[in-house]
Structures are given as C-alpha cells and as structure tokens.
Structure 1
Amino acid sequence: MRKSRRLVSIILAIAMIFVLAAPAFASSTYSQVSANFATSNSNAAPLGTAKIAIPTAEMTAGDSVNIKLPQDFSFFPNTETYPAGVTVAYPDFATAAIVDAQAPATHYVEFNSPNVSNSLFSAAANNFTVAFVSEREVKLTLTNAALTAGCENGYIYVKLLNVFVPSSASGDVSISFDAQPGTSFASGSVVVGKVGSGSVELSIDDVNTITSTGGNISTVNVKEDRPGALRNSTKSIKVKLPSGFEWNTASAVTTTNKWGTIGAQPAGANLTAALTAAGTGYTLTDNNRTLQINSAGGSVAALYYTITGLGITVDESVAKAGDIEAIVSGDSSTTPSTLVIGRYGDFSSSVSTSDAKDVRAGRTDEEIGKIIIDEAIAGSLIATRTVTLTLTGGAKWHQSPIGTLNTNLRIDTASSDQRGLTLGAWAVVGDSFETIKATVTTASTGSKPAKIVLEKGNVDLSADATGEIKVVVAGTAGASGEGLVANVVKPVTVAADGALPDLIIGEQNQAVADVIVTENMKEAIDATGANNVLAIEFPAGVTPGLPKSVEVIEGDLQLDKSSPNIGYVNDKFRINVNVLSTSSTPSKVKFSGITVTTDRTVPTGGIAVKVKGTAVDQTAIAGLFPGSTTAAKTNVANCITASPKQETGANVKFKIGENKYTANGVEKTMDVAPYIKDNRTFVPVRYVAYALGVNEDNVLWDNDTQKVTILKGDKVVQMTIGSKELLVNGAVITMDVAPEITNDRTMLPFRFIAQALGAKVTWDEATQTVTIVI
C-alpha cells in the first residue's frame, strides 16, 4: 500500500514538471545603431537608428509591434499631417520603406531590411507592413510573404530622419516597442537621441602676430556639436576684442562651409558698422570692438564653417603687448568663453632659460641648461647684427686648447621654431672668455615670430664658484634678458678632526688638527693626467712638516702613498699628495699628524687650510681663474700670540742689476748683482741672510756637497745647488727652480729664501726693486 502511494506521488510530480515547463520562446531583441544630438523645438531633427532582430524560427505571420516616440514628439515635422488609418507598404524592402504623409520624395522615417543574411529581405514581396497609429506611433506587422531561406534571423532598421522635437524635450530620447507577450516580438526601448541646447565651438587655426599697423587674424572655425545649436539671431555669436583693438571695417570676409546646413551660416561680406540683414553677414557694435555673427536659424544637419579675412586695427596708446584674448558670447551657447585670436607686439625679443644643470666648481667642460630667445614678431632679430651671451657667477665659456673657444653651443632644432632665422658661428669677445657672440645671418620671415633654443653650452668654472650661473643675453640684434642656466655644487668639503689647538708665533713643530677632505659625489677628486694633485695649503708664515699619514678612510679613492710632499706656491706652503684613481663611491681623505712652524708675522686668530690642487681645480694649470683656486677651507688651529709689529726693524731693498742694497736705509755693497732669469728674480742668498740679521758665521757652505746652511734663531734652512728641495728644520719644500752659482755666489729666487727665514717680500715692477721686511 505504501509503495503504491509513493508511485502515485512520483507520477504527479513528473506531471507537474511537464505542466510548468512551458516551451522556450526566443523573441525579438532591440539595439541602438546610432543616437544623434538634437536641440529642443526642432522641426526636422535627424535622430538615430534602432535595429530589430527576430529569430526566423519564431516568426509568425500577423505578429506585430507598436513603435512609439515620446509624448509631444512626431515622426513628421509639425507642418505635416499624418495619414490616419493608412497602411504603407512597398514591394522592395531591399532599399527602404518610406513613411511620408504628403510627398514620398521626403523621407521622414525609414524601415529598412537590407540584404545581409536576412530572412526578411525579399525582392519579390513584402514580409512586413507599416501602418500609422498616430503622429508619434506606427504599427509594424509581419506578413512572412516571401522569407529568404537559410537565414537564422531577420533584421529591420528603423531610421528616424526628420523628427519633430518639442520645446519641452531634454535628455535622452527613446523609442518604445510594445508587443503582445508570446509573439515574435518582445517589448523594450532604445535610445535614439539626446536633446539639449547644444553648443558652438570656436577655434582659430593659428595665432598670428599683429603689429601696431594692424593685420589679419588666422582662420576662425565655427562648429556646432548638434543641429540647431546656432540660434536664429543677429547676434548668434559675439566676439569682443580687448581695449586698444578694433575690427577692421575694410576686412574682406569669406565664409566657407565644411559640412552641415549652409543656410545657418552668415554670408561673407565686408564688415560695416551698419546693421546687416539678419542671417546674411556680420554686424559691428561697441565702437567696432564687438563682432556679431548672424545666423539664419537652426540647422537640420550640424554645421561647420570657417571665416577668413578678419582684420584688426590697433590703438598703440591703449593696446597691451601680448596675447589678444577675445571674449566669446552670444545668443548661442558658445565655447570657449575666451579665445586667443592673435598676439600683439612690435620688434623685440625676450629671453628665458630652462633645464638648469648642476655643475661642479673647479671643473672644465661642464654642460649648462638651455637658453631661449623668443621674437615678439617675425624679423625682430635683425640680420647682420649680433647676439652676445655673457656668463656670470664664476664661469667662462670652455677653452680647449687654452685661448681657443671650444663650445658645443648649438640650436636645438627640435624645440626651436626658426622660421628661417639662422645664426653664424660663435666667437669669443675679448680675452676673458666670459662673453661670446654670433651674427644673425638670416632673419625670420612670415607672420609668425621665431623661437631659438640654444643647447649643449659648455663652460669652465672657478674652484670657488658658488650658487647660480646665469647668462645675460644682449647684442645689437635686439635680444635682451637673462636667465639661470646652472647651479654650482661644491665637489668637496673640508673639516678639522677634533679640537683646534692654540699656536704661538715663532714656535716650531706645533701640532694642528687632522684634516679630512670629503667628496660630495663620486669622482669629485680627479686623477686624470696632470689633474691628480690634491693639496692643503697653509697661510703665509706657517710652514708645515710632512704629515705622519695621508690615507683614504672611507670610499674607494686610491692615493699614491709615497707621494706626499711639501710644495711652495705663491708664497705659501702646501702638502701635496697624488691621486692614482677616482672613486666610484664618495670618499674621504685624512691628513694626520701635521705639525707646523709659525714665524712672527702670523696674526692672531684662526689658522685656515685651503683645499687646492689640480685634482679639485682643473682650471689651475691653465690659470683660467687667477686668485680663485680654493675648493674648500677650514680652520685647523688658533694663533693666540699677537705678532710683533716689527722684530728687528729690518727693511731691505735689492735692485735688479745693481751690486748695492740697502738695509734699514744703510747702503751696502755686494760682489754680485740680482738678475732676472725665466721671469724669476734671483738674489744672492748670503746677502739676503746678512740683511735679515743672520751672523756671517751662521751662513755655512759645504763645497763637497754644494750645500748652503743658514742658522737663524731656532730655524735651520738648507739648500743644495741644482736641487729643487729646500729644507726648513728638516721639512722638505719643493721649489719650482733650483739654486745656482753665479760669480761664486749661490743665487735663488728671493721669495724662497725670504719666506724660509720668516720675512715678507714685495716686488715693484716699475723700479725693478725687491723689498724684504721682517
């Protein structure tokens, strides 16, 4: 019994499944092919196209769908009357079905069934009919009179060509499809347009230069974004010029249609202050400052036209140089609200710079940023005249070889707009290499001004250069201005390691703080060729001994550990070390265990060392920046004992070619006269020592070793004939010349012997006199 009940339940469940499972039915679908913009209150707006797709297997003759426009819309212009109750049928839907109330030649709406794998296409009979229900509704009915075999679907395109759009319309416009359920057609809707006020875009092909004599602007483009955007008005568009400018009433204006409804554009005509007929031309108002562009009315197809020949006159007393920015307005909605239609200016050129580079102090052949010269109008830079470029801030144009300009400066053709303008070769002005010049060989031509961008300029920088490097543009061609082209970075810094000790004048072997030279970037300390000497220089009156060590304490810079020596340059002692290879990571060099001897001329205050040498100053060998050879400096000690104003009162004068000298006004005789050799002034060592208070017994000569020894107080000075090494209390000082014997007397340039004995020297070129003072 229980089993039979279970069987009945299963049978009932299966029966219910068959009852509920209705056969699947694939009805029509609707899609958008196009959707056009339209304006409200349009009498014949071309909206878009909708596509109906119907599975062939589901087509049933007699099935229908009602296609309806929104409320107050009409398939026809409001001047037409729809044929109520009339069914419109055409034998050949391969072209189009034309639905028209009055004249069949006018297409208001089309129903098209093209020959593209389309079962509804037939050249023999109608497969559907269209009947009017109202001015905004039609009924499409399938007849299936002659379906094309082998096609999976049938297609009908509904194309809305001349739709009336009411003034109340806005936003999306959709057509609806209403159909009885269970038929070949489904219900739905498709967006076929968008209604809005629309806008008119104004643009200009080019920005012409207008001079004080006036001129024409470039072609003006007027473009609707939808039909009817141009309003029917004598001031559909207004273009107002700024103060100082007027529209030229003699302008011969030409209007050219690109596309769209020609009737909506103005006719070309001379501008006149008198009001022209609406829709036929242009009107000038506001003392000829405002141009009113007339429009005959709403376009049926979106309009695009151009205006050429518009001219401008200039009142120089009012007009401002620069862009001529007009205000755009009118009864039509326009964009943009302002439009640059020209550029006003007379013959002049402006200067600017860009892409300023970081350059290293003390380096040669460093690249700077770009220099830009803009003409105000074409021909501003005058042919056969010059453009000069002057560097400021411790820079000179690159020389290679020394005394020869070797600049890479050139026109950046990709960034320039030369307009025919050309420059000749660059040449140096004067002998400082701070200024170069080029001649304008050909002036620019045409309506547009030229723009010259100069790039790849290369310069040499002093070791003590800091801050900004600027270029000043001048010359006779008419360019004037300046700009930043580089920022100087210091390759190295220097600092004392530890507390600064106090020094006493006249004392020997006094310790100073250790010195650390730090690279601010890799390869800051050079090692190329002659550019491999790193030096720390001491002030006059301070004689250093060799440090206990010179070593790299950080980074991978390599030094020649056997190279430290004492040098003497321009009356100052320095510690030199040779660099073997540059760093790949910033390095630090430490000078340790330095002692100094101070003479009695050293003033109180800080004792500063300066970082010098060709490794940090590539300009030093050539002497490009005399007196500007310090890369960095720091104090290493303090002198706490004031130097006496005068110790012995010694004031000695030697004169070239004379065998007499004066010591504190007393004339004395020598057996040899001072002389000049290779631009160096040689004096007899013995008589200089006597003049500075050295006892005759303390000037010693060793004939076997050819060595002179001078004893003065706590100082021992030694030199050997033919050797460039000068020993002061055992410290080796390297001279640039060696002592020599003349008339049995040891001769040496006066600065070396005087400085070694703690004296100061001066040279009077006019009188050929050496003065030595203690």
Structure 2
Amino acid sequence: MNASTDDLLIRFPADTIVSDVYAYAPPSIENSDNQIADVTWMKKVNPNSNSYVFSVQRNTASPGKGFFYIDFQGIRIPSYQKGDFPAYMEASPNSVFSTEQLPLATISSGKVTLSVDEVASISSDSAALSTIRIREESPGDLKIATDSIELKLPPGFKWKLNGTATNETLWGDLALGSLTTENNDQTLKIGIKLKSGVTLVPGSKPKASTIELSNLLIEVDEQVAQAGDVNVTFDGQSDVTASSMVIARYGGYSLKGGPYGDIPTIIAGRRDQPIAVFFGEELAPGTIDVNRSITATVPKYVKWNRVPVLDTAISELGDEIQMQRFGTSGTDLFYKDDDGSKINGRFTKKTQKRAAKVYFKKGTVDVAPNFKGLLALEFGGTSPMHGKMPIAKVVPPVAMQALKPLEIVAGVKNQKLDDIIIAETLPGALLAKQLRIYAPKGITFEQPPGFEVVEGNLVLAKNSVNVSDQNDNGDPYVSVDVENSSSVASKIKLSNLVVNADGSVPDGTLVFEIKGWDTATSEITQGDFSESKAAETVVANVYRSSTTPKTLQALFTIGQANAQFAGSEVTLGAAPYIKEGRTYLPLRDAAKAVGIADADILWDPATQQATLSKGAKFVQIQMDSTTLRVNGTEMTMDTPPEVVDPGRIMVPVRWIANAFNANTQWDEATQTVTITAK
C-alpha cells in the first residue's frame, strides 16, 4: 500500500470541555478502497488547551474518495455560546487539508438533522440514492419508535424495499430499527431502537447518535414524475430541523438542446447553406436508451444537403454513449431520407454514470427562393429529444418596391409605370446569372426598360436587357444579366417601364414578381422545389374605362377625438396631435384611412411590432424605432411611433400614408389633415 501522513490540528472555542475523543476511518467508500488508511488522535497541544492533533495516514493508491470520522464525546459548551458552534481546522502549508472554520452545530433546544452525502442524478425506473445521515443534536432528540422519522416522496416516486438497504451507527447508543412503507409506498417510516447491548439506567437518555442509511431505492413513474429536484418532506415522532430535503435530481426521459454559438444568416434560393452547430444534452445518465432513434426534419421549401457530423473536439460523450454510423466515410451519424427533408440516427449504447452532451457541426441545407424567416429543425423519433430548434435565419436575396403604384386601365396600350427599386438584402445576394421580373398574363412590355445600378458595386452586363412576351407558363418578363456579383449590397433601378394591358387583366392590384429557376435569385433548378418567387411588389392599380377608381377620404382635426370617414363621423382611439412638426394618429385609425381592414391590422405584443397589409403590400412598424419596412425593404422615418393614454399606439401619419400610396393634405387654418386613398 502506498501511504503518506499528514497532521491535522482541530481547535475549539475557549471554555469548551471535551470528555473523550474517537477517530475512525472506514475501509471502503462506495465500493472502492478508502483513500484514508487510518486516523489517530495523537495528543492535546497542552493539557489546558482546546486544541487536538490527529495523524492522518493516506492510501495514495486508492482511486476512490477519502472519508474519516472524528467523534468528540461529552462536549460541554459554555452557556454564553449562541448560534453556530465552530471547530477551527489548521494544517501545514504542504498538507492536503486546508485551514478553515467548520460549523459543527447550531446551539438550539435540540433537534434531529437529516442530510445526504450528495444529490443523486436519476433517470431510470429504479435508482439508488446517496447515503442519508440521521444525526441527533442532543440526547433524546431521536425518538425510539417505529415511526421515529417519516420521509414522504412527491407524486411519481415510490420507495422500493427489497433488502438492499444497509445501515451503520457511527456513534451513540441508537440503531436503525424497522423500515416500512405506507400510502402506496410513497412514505417511508424509519424505526429507531436501542443498539444491541445498550442498557439504560432509569431516568437516563441514550448517548446522542449518528446513523447512516445507504442503498435505499426509489422507483420512478415517468408518466407522473416531474423533472427536477426530488424533495422529500419530513414527519414522524422526532423533531427534524427542516421540513424537507432534496435527495435526488430527476432528469426524466428528456434531453435539452439548442444552437451553439451564433445562428447564421443565409440566403434563400441557394444550395449548401451552412446551419448553426447544435447540441443535445442528457439531463441525467441513461436518458438516451439503446436503439432509440432521433430524427431532425427541416420545414417545407428546405432540404438537407450535407448531414451534420459529430464534433468530437467539444462533445462530452459520457461513459458509454454511441450512435450507429452511416455512410462509407464511417463518420456520418445521420442519414437522409429519400426526399431530403429528414435525417435519421440511432443510438447503440447508453450512458451509465456520466451524462452525454453531443455537438453536431458542418450541416448544410438547400433553401427554396420563396422561403424566408427563422429556419427551425423539428426533432422527433423515439429518443426523448422533441420540439423545434432554430438553426438559421433565412433572408430573401432581394426586396422589390415600386416607388409609387399608378392607375392603369384594362384594354389600353402604352401605359407608363413608375420606377421600381430592387435591393439586395446582403452583399453577393444576386448571382452572376439572369435577373427576371415577371408580369401577370394579359400584360406585355411595350419596350425594353432601363436597368441601372444606383448603389453598391454590382455589375450588370451591357446590352443584356431582354423582353419576353411569355415563358413556358405564359407569363411575360423582362430580364438583365448580372455580370459580376457584389461585395457591397447593391440596388438596381428599373425605369422607363411602359406596358400594354389587354382586356383580360382583372380589376385590382397589378403585381410584378422576381422569380425563375437557375437565375440570379436562385441556383436551385426546377424540380427540387415547387416555387421560385423571390420578391414581389404592387406596380399599379387596374380599373376599366367604364369604371372610376374608388377613393376613400378621411378628415382628421388636431385635438378632436372625432373624425370624418367617407362623410360619416367616427370616434377615434385618441385625439390626433402634432409633435415636433409631425402629425400623429392612432395606428388603427391611420390604417383604416388608407383602406386597410381591421383583419389586416396585426399587433404582436411580444415583439412590439404592427403589421399592416393591403393587397400585395405589407408594412411593418416597430415601437420606439424609426425603421419602417415595406415588403421587407427598410426605410428610416424621422420620428418613431409612441404610446399615449389609454395605451393607444400613435404613428406619424404621413409615413403610413406614403407607404400605401395615399395622398395627405394639411390645412393650417382649420388644423385638419385629409387622407385620400384608393
């Protein structure tokens, strides 16, 4: 046996009297040799002192824990001592022990203290607890009875008595008696009796005792048990210092997981786009059982390209966990299904003592041109990991906005449209391919329009503008070739747009779209997805020569809570007012004034964002922000929206009106603003 020795000095407060001292080191701890081979009380520092020196012999060959006990018998504490009663432990500089103050007791009327060596992590249907220690603070506190102490488990947990429990009296005259259960095994009754061979003189009390209870088992009903701390409540004839104690931590058959690090922003219409590194973590060892499967499904209009691989550099594999491998490389832990929407994996070993936390990296996806927003994986299978996990933010390659939709008449040729701005959302969003802008059936282009880069460093090919009366689906389009992609997000102005509208074009909004397979906005080819539209905008309102465009007129007066809508008086949510030269109206009233129905006014309290939609146009406005988004294109207002009593959202009305192509007129004399919309 390899051994070394350390001296340890323990000192008590002044006027403390100790009758006797015992020291003891058990031979083993948790099935391993004790790292403490022996402990011996050597001497007092001097006969009148309260300091004691112990020699502690270590077994350095043992891989286990080190425990030893020191029992100071018959301690007399001075009457003036209140609160915590400490011992001062002192050691030499090179000792394995530290110099510190240890609270040994709290001076009180006398109670029983229960504690556990450590809070056990459990997840299986039957699990062993750590050792429970029962300690009297003074003789007579621990009652001799079959129900001296009762431990009641929460719902979903039961005590399992199958003869495995063991006990030991560390010191004192008491011992463990019977162990029984009641309340459908939810309550454990601990009996206490006199230790064998102990006889009490009438009127005397047994010596204060400390008893250890080990290898107790509890069963878990995973349909009822709640994950988290397993808290037992105390009852019985003995007075226990606390009302409850945490004896275990139940992980349940569940995992937690999420993205690791930043979530990347990727572009719709691209292949092989990187997703975030993500992880799955067991809440307790053994959560992932053998042959449990795990699936990760991407949403519609997204497909897996490369399956994620295990990041061995940062993963914690626990003691046993292993996944079945797929693929000739021998490193793929997932495989794709036939349509590419789902990846599958299966676990072939599970953890026993150490929980696993696994990270997966290098996963990529193909994204259809029309997908945008948060991309989240949907986890399923027979493993406990379920739910959605965000792994990327998807932005469209471009945003498209007509400066001002005009009125055109069905059945009339040579009608001019206003300019259109096409803005990249990120540098390089437009590929070096053909950019196509489609019109609906019934519309033809009278002449090739102009394409001009007005911002950024995108390069358009010279003499590449083309007009096509129709494509395979019958929709006409104009196009231009992108010669070089940008390194700075760029904007293109489409001008000199002149169209012919035949009689088949219906009344209402006229929408142009940017779409097409294998184009500047999509490296995806036809067949992978069903939709190629990347952006759209309203370019005109169509009516027939026999009809007149319907108009809506609303009249608001500053400081007045009533207004005129199409000649009828209505009550507003709040009175309009002027602030820093800008006219503010209630959000809903401003929206109605430009022709937006109540159903098309959406408010998200979580993000504090309002969304207004009319036809193919939607406008988003954020509280306390000067950013206004029109079909995804950001504009900066000169003043933000705000809230006034009684909780009404007020907006600068001119910005809302302009966004929906409504006309505003201000009359200084009458302090009125008139909004005219179609």
- What is the aligned counterpart of 1:209 among 118, 123, 135? 123
In the other structure, the counterpart of 1:457 is: 363
- Aligned residue for 2:174, secondary structure, equals coil
The answer to whether residue 47 in structure 2 is matched with residue 99 in structure 1 is: yes
Q: Shift of residue 220 of structure 1?
A: 3.2
In the other structure, the counterpart of 1:263 is: 171
Q: Shift of residue 496 of structure 1?
A: 0.5
In the other structure, the counterpart of 1:340 is: 248
Map 1:373-412 → 2, pairs under 5 A: 378=286, 383=291, 387-398=294-305, 406-410=306-310
Q: Shift of residue 604 of structure 1?
A: 2.5
Structure 2 Cα separation of the partners of residues 209 and 480 of structure 1: 15
Structure 1 Cα separation of the partners of residues 543 and 221 of structure 2: 75
- What is the aligned counterpart of 1:366 among 273, 277, 282? 273
C-alpha spacing 1:203/1:596, structure 2 compared with 1 (3 Å)? farther
Structure 1 Cα separation of the partners of residues 487 and 134 of structure 2: 62
In the other structure, the counterpart of 1:278 is: 174
Structure 1 Cα separation of the partners of residues 264 and 208 of structure 2: 58
- What is the aligned counterpart of 2:440 among 539, 545, 561? 539
Q: Shift of residue 218 of structure 1?
A: 4.0
Residues 85, 105 of structure 2: 8 Å contact kept: no
- What is the aligned counterpart of 2:12 among 47, 58, 63? 47
Question: Per residue, is there more strand in 1 or in 2?
Answer: 2
Map 1:159-170 → 2, pairs under 5 A: 164-166=76-78, 168-170=80-82
Cα offsets for 1:204-244 (capped at 9, x unmatched): 36413332xxx2324336599xx969995258976432235
The answer to whether residue 496 in structure 2 is matched with residue 588 in structure 1 is: no
- What is the aligned counterpart of 2:471 among 558, 566, 569? 569
Structure 1 Cα separation of the partners of residues 279 and 85 of structure 2: 57
Cα offsets for 1:720-767 (capped at 9, x unmatched): xxxxxxxxxxxxxxxxxxxxxxxxxxxxxxxxxxxxxxxxxxxxxxxx
In the other structure, the counterpart of 1:429 is: 337
Residues 564, 575 of structure 1: 8 Å contact kept: yes
Structure 2 Cα separation of the partners of residues 423 and 110 of structure 1: 59
Question: One-letter code of the match for 2:128?
Answer: I
- What is the aligned counterpart of 2:420 among 511, 515, 522? 515
Map 1:57-76 → 2, pairs under 5 A: 69=14, 73-74=15-16
In the other structure, the counterpart of 1:662 is: none
Flag structure 2 segments of 5+ consecutive residues without an equivalent.
Answer: 1-7, 21-42, 54-71, 87-99, 108-112, 194-205, 327-333, 547-678
C-alpha spacing 1:467/1:589, structure 2 compared with 1 (3 Å)? same
Cα offsets for 1:249-291 (capped at 9, x unmatched): 323234589xxxx316xxxxxxxxxxxx834467546555235
- Aligned residue for 2:505, secondary structure, equals coil
Structure 2 Cα separation of the partners of residues 493 and 309 of structure 1: 66
Structure 1 Cα separation of the partners of residues 450 and 542 of structure 2: 24
C-alpha spacing 1:281/1:455, structure 2 compared with 1 (3 Å)? farther
C-alpha spacing 1:554/1:593, structure 2 compared with 1 (3 Å)? same
Structure 1 Cα separation of the partners of residues 218 and 455 of structure 2: 71
In the other structure, the counterpart of 1:609 is: 512
Structure 2 Cα separation of the partners of residues 538 and 388 of structure 1: 41
Question: One-letter code of the match for 1:541?
Answer: G
In the other structure, the counterpart of 2:536 is: 633
Q: Shift of residue 611 of structure 1?
A: 1.8
- What is the aligned counterpart of 2:396 among 490, 493, 499? 490
- Aligned residue for 2:440, secondary structure, equals coil
- Aligned residue for 1:503, secondary structure, equals strand
Structure 2 Cα separation of the partners of residues 231 and 581 of structure 1: 90
Greater Rg by CA: 1
Structure 2 Cα separation of the partners of residues 170 and 379 of structure 1: 47
Map 1:632-671 → 2, pairs under 5 A: 632-641=535-544
What is the aligned length? 449
The root-mean-square deviation of aligned C-alpha atoms, in Å, is 4.8
Structure 1 Cα separation of the partners of residues 177 and 389 of structure 2: 52
Percent identical residues: 22
In the other structure, the counterpart of 1:551 is: 452
- Aligned residue for 1:164, secondary structure, equals coil
Residues 516, 588 of structure 1: 8 Å contact kept: yes
Structure 2 Cα separation of the partners of residues 35 and 593 of structure 1: 95
If the length of structure 1 is used for normalisation, what is the TM-score? 0.48
Structure 2 Cα separation of the partners of residues 523 and 255 of structure 1: 72
Structure 2 Cα separation of the partners of residues 168 and 194 of structure 1: 17
C-alpha spacing 1:578/1:409, structure 2 compared with 1 (3 Å)? farther
In the other structure, the counterpart of 2:158 is: 246
C-alpha spacing 1:201/1:35, structure 2 compared with 1 (3 Å)? farther
Structure 2 Cα separation of the partners of residues 308 and 195 of structure 1: 23
Flag structure 1 segments of 5+ consecutive residues without an equivalent.
Answer: 1-33, 37-45, 49-68, 79-94, 101-106, 112-159, 175-190, 265-276, 399-405, 644-774
Structure 2 Cα separation of the partners of residues 306 and 367 of structure 1: 56
Residues 537, 573 of structure 1: 8 Å contact kept: yes
In the other structure, the counterpart of 1:669 is: none
C-alpha spacing 1:609/1:335, structure 2 compared with 1 (3 Å)? same
C-alpha spacing 1:484/1:247, structure 2 compared with 1 (3 Å)? closer
If the length of structure 2 is used for normalisation, what is the TM-score? 0.54
Q: Shift of residue 494 of structure 1?
A: 0.9
Q: Shift of residue 640 of structure 1?
A: 2.0
In the other structure, the counterpart of 1:311 is: 217
